[in-house]
Amino acid sequence: MPPHFQLDEDNDVIHNAEAFSLAPESAYQAVYSPLRLYLRQLVVDEVKRENPKLAAIQHRYRSPGLDRLFVFSGMLGNHSFFMIALPFLHTFGMGAFARGLTFVVLWSIYFSGAVKDYISAPRPASPPVVQITRSPAHTLEYGFPSTHTTYAAATI
């Protein structure tokens, strides 16, 4: 049985990080403002609409080689990569560039996290879409906006 929201003795929602995106809709309706519910529903409807298309694309083109490629390239857009890469820029005399990139990356982390928590949209359903990741923690966070896409947009 998937995890769900639990209520305490005052009928307040007990937030469980593992259960957030698997909560019943009534849990969101109990605590979110009308604007937040409206925005969340727009994104959830789009995720549901795109889910069969994503599954079909994945079914047609998925291969072990592409899985490895996407796992590797996905690691280039996570926090650990930047924690390793940014000090090297300082080491090689690119301190101003490294500080600017650090500023951009930190703001994109903050921005994407704030929007993810505000919208609370789940990731595409798995199955039928297969989540290809080396970190199971990524499957527990909300899906919109994509942190990797936010990094890419911020650093270009």
> What pLDDT digit, counting tens, does each position of 99-156 carry?
888 888 888 888 888 888 888 887 776 667 666 666 666 666 777 777 777 777 776 6
> CB 104: neighbour CB atoms within 10 A?
14
| Total count of residues recorded for the chain | 156
The rounded distance, in Å, linking the Cα atoms of 18 and 3 is 7
pTM of the model: 0.64
Burial per residue of 114-142, b for 16 or more beta-carbon CB atoms within 10 angstroms, e otherwise: ebbeebbbbbbeeeebeeeeeeeeeeebb
The residue written with tokens 């937040």 in the block is 36
> CB 23: neighbour CB atoms within 10 A?
21
3-class secondary-structure state, position 13: strand
The rounded distance, in Å, linking the Cα atoms of 67 and 44 is 26
> What pLDDT digit, counting tens, does each position of 43-69 carry?
888 888 888 888 888 888 888 888 888
The rounded distance, in Å, linking the Cα atoms of 38 and 103 is 32
Q: Burial, 109: exposed, middle or buried (Cβ in 10 Å; 0-12, 13-18, 19+)?
A: middle
CB 22 within 8 A of CB 2: yes
